[in-house]
Structure 1
Amino acid sequence: MTAVYYLNKGKKSSLHVTFNRSELGLLLSVYSQRVAKGEWRDYAIDLLGDCAVFSIFRHAHETPLFAVVKTKGHKNKYDEFTVYNGQKRLNRSRNLSEALEVFNNTLVPMNH
């Protein structure tokens, strides 16, 4: 007989961060442009409860070149988007389009 153990018996968090349809459209638009140039080859989406992460890879077996993280801002009043290259924060904004502007520049990833 199998036993089921519930690790989180407390109050469920109402904070569950995801990318909405328009945000996914923006992310995939930037991603597809770089794929067409041969710079990027894979991506992953992780929904971790308190944040959503869109990771960008040159090769699937490597660590991500970039990560776009969506979190809730101060007291959950707004969404915040941060673009990382490894541990380095490249851009942060309450607007995804503004956060993604960092990709308009020529970027050379640190873990190249």
Structure 2
Amino acid sequence: MNMEAPVPFPSGGHLPEQVAFDRRELSLILRLYGRMVAAGEWRDYGISHGAEAAVFAVFRRTAETPLYRIEKRPKLRAKQGIYAVVSEGGHILRRGHELEAVLKVLERKLIRPVD
């Protein structure tokens, strides 16, 4: 009977790389998130990190699908831009190389006409 110990990590001895938001990116996203929560538009969020992308998803209610996903996909850096805002239906609302510029598509939702 072969009783080899399980290998805790993939071969090569290191963990696979994951895409993640850095401190500056999270600061920009969380600043917008806080303003949207204060306006009553958003109520919850989730963050995921994977080999292909990092995603910040925002929700109106926890049990629903995300209203928007803010995605960071480094492999698209040379093509369409590393950042994207994706709607609930999967439509890309804006894509670009600068996170601040991409987030402006969501900031416009804060500006409402006075009744």
Which stretches of structure 1, 4 residues or more, deviate above 3 A after TM superposition? Answer: 3-15, 76-79
Matched, 1:42 2:49: no
Matched AA of 1:105: R
Shift of 1:13: 8.3
Q: In structure 1, what is the Cα distance between the partners aligned to 2:14 and 2:91?
A: 32
Matched, 1:100 2:103: yes
Q: Which has the larger radius of gyration?
A: 2
Partners of 2:85 and 2:93 within 8 A in 1 = yes
Secondary structure of the corresponding residue to residue 19 of structure 2: coil
Normalization by structure 1: what TM-score? 0.78
Normalization by structure 2: what TM-score? 0.76
Seen in structure 2, the aligned counterparts of structure 1 residues 90 and 77 have a Cα distance that, compared at 3 Å, is closer
Corresponding residue for residue 91 of structure 2: 88
Matched, 1:23 2:25: yes
Tell me the alpha carbon deviations over residues 22-77 of structure 1, each in whole angstroms, 9 at most, x when there is no partner.
Answer: 00000000000000011100000000121100000001111000000001145x66
Q: In structure 2, what is the Cα distance between the partners aligned to 1:59 and 1:72?
A: 29
Shift of 1:106: 2.5
Matched AA of 2:100: S
Where do 5+ consecutive residues of structure 1 fail to align? 108-112
Aligned residues between the structures: 105
Shift of 1:105: 1.7
Partners of 1:15 and 1:50 within 8 A in 2 = no
- Within a 5 Å distance, the mapping from 1:52-71 to structure 2 comes to 52-71=54-73
Instruction: Give the percent of matched residue pairs that are identical in Structure 1 and Structure 2.
Output: 35
CA-based RMSD: 3.0
Partners of 2:21 and 2:72 within 8 A in 1 = yes
